């Protein structure tokens, strides 16, 4: 079965990415963190060898360089996150993909094994979801377009996963390991490898 991973990413512009984190550590610093997350995501995808399509909010050279192996580059279309994801899934199924996964680009602990497990899971299950600690999800996979999953949701709140599971309660669903998005300073501190690299980059070299 032909599989694709759709990656949602924002153009890495200072002051427009990781703004919640930026309010605590500075926008230049949060921009740097975002660039590291993009690289980590790209590396995991490359190692998985699953076909990748980048959905960007606007065309940006750095995104294309980071995800240079992507099969296609698409612009996100829709009024909110739900509509953008719904449109992305519908695009993928129209292209003939049979198993479609979607991820964001702010997860340091994403690795190729997570992606490959999600791909394998869809052989037997209708859906696969990677739950996030904030009540949302970092990965969603399915084998047929399901628009209801992207409607009537309070996006960026702690109810998203719960509401999504209610929509597919009569389907077979597998949950992956819970992981942590990097959105706040607390999230960053809870990710020692990235936090230590951040401290070295911006503080230790100044001593």
* pLDDT surpassing 80 at residue 138: yes
Read off the pLDDT of each residue in 149-164 and give the average, rounded to a whole number: 93
Quote the pLDDT of residue 133: 93
* pLDDT surpassing 80 at residue 139: yes
Domain boundaries, the chain: 3-206
Read off the pLDDT of each residue in 101-119 and give the average, rounded to a whole number: 97
Under the banding of pLDDT at 50, 70 and 90, the label for residue 156 is confident
Quote the pLDDT of residue 1: 67
* pLDDT surpassing 60 at residue 206: no
Quote the pLDDT of residue 130: 98
pLDDT single digits (tens) 5-57: 999 999 999 999 999 999 999 999 999 999 999 999 999 999 999 999 999 99
For residues 116 and 128, give the distance between their C-alpha atoms in angstroms, rounded to a whole number: 12
Under the banding of pLDDT at 50, 70 and 90, the label for residue 204 is confident
* pLDDT surpassing 50 at residue 124: yes
Under the banding of pLDDT at 50, 70 and 90, the label for residue 205 is low
Quote the pLDDT of residue 64: 97
Average predicted confidence (pLDDT) for the chain: 95
DSSP per-residue letters across the chain: --EEEEEEE----TTTSSHHHHHHH-HHHHHHHHHHHHHHHHHHHHHHT-EEEEEESS--HHHHHHTTT-SEEEE--SSSHHHHHHHHHHHHHHTT-SEEEEE-S--TT--HHHHHHHHHHHHH-SEEEEEBTTSSEEEEEESS--GGGGSS--TTSTTHHHHHHHHTTTS-EEE---B----SHHHHHT-HHHHHHHHHHHTGGG-
pLDDT single digits (tens) 53-101: 999 999 999 999 999 999 999 999 999 999 999 999 999 999 999 999 9
For residues 144 and 148, give the distance between their C-alpha atoms in angstroms, rounded to a whole number: 12
Does domain 3-206 bear CATH number 3.90.550.10? yes
């Amino acid at each position: 079965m032909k599989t694709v991973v759709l990656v949602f990413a924002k153009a890495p512009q200072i002051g427009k990415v990781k703004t919640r984190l930026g309010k605590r550590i500075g926008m230049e610093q949060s921009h740097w963190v975002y660039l590291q997350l993009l690289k980590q995501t790209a590396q995991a995808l490359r190692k998985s060898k699953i076909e990748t399509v980048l959905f960007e909010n606007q065309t940006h050279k750095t995104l294309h360089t980071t995800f240079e192996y992507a099969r296609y580059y698409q612009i996100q279309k829709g009024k909110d996150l739900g509509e953008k994801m719904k449109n992305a899934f519908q695009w993928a199924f129209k292209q003939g993909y049979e198993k479609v996964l979607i991820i964001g680009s702010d997860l340091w602990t994403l690795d190729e094994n997570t992606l490959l497990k999600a791909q394998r899971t869809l052989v037997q299950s209708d859906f696969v979801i990677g739950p996030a600690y904030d009540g949302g999800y970092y990965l969603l996979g399915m084998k047929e377009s399901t628009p209801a999953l992207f409607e009537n949701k309070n996006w960026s709140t702690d109810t998203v996963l719960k509401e999504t599971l209610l929509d597919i309660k009569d389907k077979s669903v597998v949950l992956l390991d819970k992981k942590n998005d990097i959105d706040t300073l607390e999230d960053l501190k809870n990710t020692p490898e990235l936090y230590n690299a951040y401290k070295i980059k911006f503080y230790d070299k100044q001593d």
